[in-house]
Amino acid sequence: MDIGQSFILAVKSLMASKMRALLTMLGIIIGVSAVILISGMGEGLTAKVEETFTSMGSNIVTAMALRQTETKYVDLDKLAEFASETEGMKYYAPYTQTSATAKFGTEDASTTVYGTNEDYASIRDRGIASGRNIQYLDVEREQRVCVVGSHVIEELFGDDVTNDELIGEQLKINGTTFKIVGIMEEKASGMAGGDDDMILIPYTVAQKVFNIQYVNMFYFTYENGDYADTIIDKVDRFFYNIYDNADYYFIMDAQSMMEEMYDMLDTITSILVAIAAVSLLVGGVGIMNIMLVSVTERTKEIGIRKAIGANKFDVLSQFVIEAITTSVIGGTIGIMLGIFFTNIASVILGIEGKVTFGAVAIAVGVSSLIGILFGYMPAKKAADMHPIDALRHE
Amino acid sequence: MIDLKNVYKIYETGDVEVHALDGISLHIDKGEFVAIVGQSGSGKSTCMNIIGCLDVPTDGEYILDGIDVSTMDDDELSYIRNNELGFIFQQYNLIQKLSVINNVELPLIYKRYPKEARRKIAMEALERVGLKGMENRFPQQLSGGQQQRVSIARALAGEPSVILADEPTGALDSKTGIEVLALIKKLNEEGNTIILVTHDNEIAEQAKRVVRLQDGKIVEDRPGRGQ
């Protein structure tokens, strides 16, 4: 019997009892759509993490001094010297981070104020839309100047003014007057608490205004990946020399954090996919169950076919193809549902889910494999029937 | 054509041996129309199963069309059934979910004929049994007589050396039974070898030769009235 004929026959036989066919396929449908959905969302999450890390800037090493005392503290002059003398070090920026209220006239906005130097914008990959960045002299001479994020501008001045008009305006941060010297390019979608909800001021000013004795956070970037290990190592040594104890500071680099994060995501996705795959297995058992029933029900038909000349392989292939057809149709429905649910989940979770060709290929492969695997046993039973006994069966 | 030499079929049930066939020798030539007749339990069904290659003898030799089939395995027997034998059953044994034409095509599918050839041969067979125009109906939509004609067409489609009819009129009313029997006679006149298995002496007499079985043995072998 040729494959096409068997396939048509199998579809006909499925159509003859639609409800049963659907229930048989249900396990496969759920399993495949779950695998598609989970792997799709996993891909999406990985992409999102990558995007986040990239927007944070790559090649960044972050150091944090957890406790500083009069005898053991980070000397900013020494640190600047260390940064400029270290080979492969590109940018260095100390920074403080404070929640504050910015005021212009009667409008005010809660935001985050970063006290830092001229390299901060480059490190965080922030462009200046209007005016200028913070400069070395601003830091040295403790100029009360600020570079403002677009969200804060919107909060304080509304949409009606152009950025250029605002350069030179004064606003108050926690009561202290600052001159706006620059406005940052919009980066995120301008949401509160996002990258655009911030103000940069010289760190020397921040220390005074917010009464911060010690700057405790530091960014370093390296020229390229070749320097990563040596820079991390040297930064670590710099801080260790201050404290003689690794517990008082904390160093992390975006690259290795990203890799760890990927590993973790991969593991989580794999585990979830594996759990979903169990339902594929259950679906396979469901198919086997129904195929066994079907073989018993159709004993007479098998007898007729064998009497007329069907050999074992003919009968075997008929039932295996029927099982494969069932599971592949179920798999196809599962793929479509999986893509559908991935799109819905993407909207709900705000993560762009990606259904990869690989995931679909595996789903198709696995569902036809299940058809063969779980269809074989019942089909073998049918093929081995003795024609006389089978014909006598009513 | 058919040569049974000292054929035994012995079933063992517990300690008791049942000799369903007890040393049967039978020769049937090409073109014959033989009725195998006997009471229930006479061994005629066993005989028919062995002639039909649905079963193999416990002992003895069965030569069909020059081939020794008595020691063949399952798949070899399938091949012989497909190529040498056509069956007409009492209960028609059509596959209900297949259309008339698909039922008739079935032996040709297992012969691996291409689709066009299958269709052509099956249509000719349906025409020979007078069911032209019924090819797309389903068995349930036909009367008993018509269903039996479909099964005859199916037997013919395989172009067998021997047609085996097992109580072909058993499920039909007498009028339809006579029609079907007439059709079987006609097929014999066209040159087909026919073996008809029945318990009914009246029907057996329609054949050209009557072989009577009793207790697994041939007790009578004589010309029938159909001669």
Distance (Å, whole) CA B219 – CA A232? 106
- Is B110 in Cβ contact with A1 (below 8 Å)? yes
Identify the closest residue of chain A to B157 by CA–CA distance: A308
- What's the pLDDT at A141? 93
Same domain for A118 and A172: yes
Residue B67 corresponds to which tokens in the numbers above?
């081939």
Mean pLDDT over the full length of chain B: 92
Backbone angles phi, psi at B133, to 5 degrees: 95, -10
Same domain for A202 and A284: no
Asked if the structure places residue A237 within a domain, the reply is no
Q: Mean pLDDT over residues A10-18, rounded?
A: 80
Per-residue pLDDT reduced to its tens digit, B107-148: 999 999 998 999 999 999 999 999 999 999 999 999 999 999
- What's the pLDDT at A303? 93
How far is B225 from chain A, CA to nearest CA, in Å? 31
Reported in sequence order, the residue ranges of chain B that DSSP labels E, i.e. its strands, are 2-13, 16-28, 33-37, 59-64, 67-68, 85-88, 162-166, 193-198, 209-214, 217-223
- What's the pLDDT at A149? 92
Q: Does position A1 have pLDDT exceeding 60, yes or no? A: no
Same domain for A366 and A278: yes
- What's the pLDDT at A194? 78
Same domain for A278 and A179: no
Boundary-marking domain end, from A215, A242, A277: A215
pTM: 0.70
Determine what percent of chain A falls in helix, strand and coil, rounding each to the nearest 5: 60, 20, 20
Residue A249 corresponds to which tokens in the numbers above?
């500071």
Q: Are strands B193-198 and B33-37 parallel, antiparallel or unpaired?
A: parallel
Per-residue pLDDT reduced to its tens digit, B32-44: 999 999 998 899 9
Same domain for A96 and A190: yes
Q: Mean pLDDT over residues A84-98, rounded?
A: 91
Residue whose token pair is 């058809």: A371
pLDDT confidence of A132, banded at 50, 70, 90?
A: very high
Asked if the structure places residue A294 within a domain, the reply is yes
- Is B75 in Cβ contact with A313 (below 8 Å)? yes
Identify the closest residue of chain B to A314 by CA–CA distance: B110
Q: Does position A53 have pLDDT exceeding 80, yes or no? A: no
- The chain A residues in contact with chain B (CB within 8 A) are 1-2, 5, 12-13, 16, 300-301, 303-314, 387-388, 391
pLDDT confidence of B211, banded at 50, 70, 90?
A: very high
Asked if the structure places residue A182 within a domain, the reply is yes
B111 interaction partners in chain A (CB closer than 8 Å): 309
Same domain for A309 and A381: yes
- What's the pLDDT at B15? 85
Same domain for A80 and A204: yes
- The chain B residues in contact with chain A (CB within 8 A) are 49, 52, 54-55, 74-75, 78-79, 81-83, 87, 89, 93-95, 97, 106-107, 109-112, 154, 158
- What's the pLDDT at A279? 81
Q: Which value does ipTM take for this structure?
A: 0.93
B154 interaction partners in chain A (CB closer than 8 Å): 308
SS3 assignment, position A96 = strand
Distance (Å, whole) CA B134 – CA B75? 33
Asked if the structure places residue A310 within a domain, the reply is yes
Asked if the structure places residue A245 within a domain, the reply is no
Can you spell out the DSSP letters for B138-196?
-GGGS-HHHHHHHHHHHHHHT--SEEEEESTTTTS-HHHHHHHHHHHHHHHHTT-EEEE
Please answer whether residues A30 and A24 qualify as being in contact, where contact means their C-beta atoms are separated by less than 8 angstroms.
Answer: no
- What's the pLDDT at B10? 92
Nearest CA to A364 among A320, A334, A323?
Answer: A334
Same domain for A386 and A310: yes
Per-residue pLDDT reduced to its tens digit, A149-162: 989 998 898 888 88
CA A105 to each of CA A122, A160, B16: distance values in angstroms, whole numbers, following the listed order: 31, 16, 114
Asked if the structure places residue A369 within a domain, the reply is yes
Q: Mean pLDDT over residues A183-193, rounded?
A: 76
Q: How many CB pairs under 8 A join A and B?
A: 63
The rounded percent of chain A whose pLDDT value lies above 70 is 97
Per-residue pLDDT reduced to its tens digit, B144-195: 999 999 999 999 999 999 999 999 998 889 899 999 999 999 999 999 999 9
pLDDT confidence of A365, banded at 50, 70, 90?
A: confident
How far is A287 from chain B, CA to nearest CA, in Å? 21
Q: Does position A46 have pLDDT exceeding 90, yes or no? A: no
- What's the pLDDT at B189? 92
**Can you say how many angstroms the Cα of residue A212 is from the centroid of all Cα atoms in its chain?**
36
Asked if the structure places residue A133 within a domain, the reply is yes
Same domain for A21 and A107: no
Asked if the structure places residue A86 within a domain, the reply is yes
Same domain for A187 and A90: yes
Least confident of A1-15, A93-107, A211-225, B81-95: A1-15
Which position has the higher pLDDT, B97 or A225? B97
Boundary-marking domain end, from A215, A249, A278: A215
Q: Print the domain residue range for A124.
A: 75-215
- Is A305 in Cβ contact with B78 (below 8 Å)? no
Boundary-marking domain end, from A153, A180, A215: A215
Same domain for A91 and A27: no
Identify the closest residue of chain A to B76 by CA–CA distance: A311
Same domain for A181 and A271: no
Q: Mean pLDDT over residues A111-127, rounded?
A: 91
Q: How many domains does chain A have?
A: 2
Task: Find all residues with CB under 8 Å of B217, minimum gap 6, and list them.
Answer: B22, B23, B24, B43
**Can you say how many angstroms the Cα of residue B209 is from the centroid of all Cα atoms in its chain?**
16
Identify the closest residue of chain A to B92 by CA–CA distance: A304
Q: Cα B216–B222–B223 angle (5° rounding)?
A: 135
Mean pLDDT over the full length of chain A: 88
Task: Choose among B54, B109, B112: nearest Cβ to A388.
Answer: B54
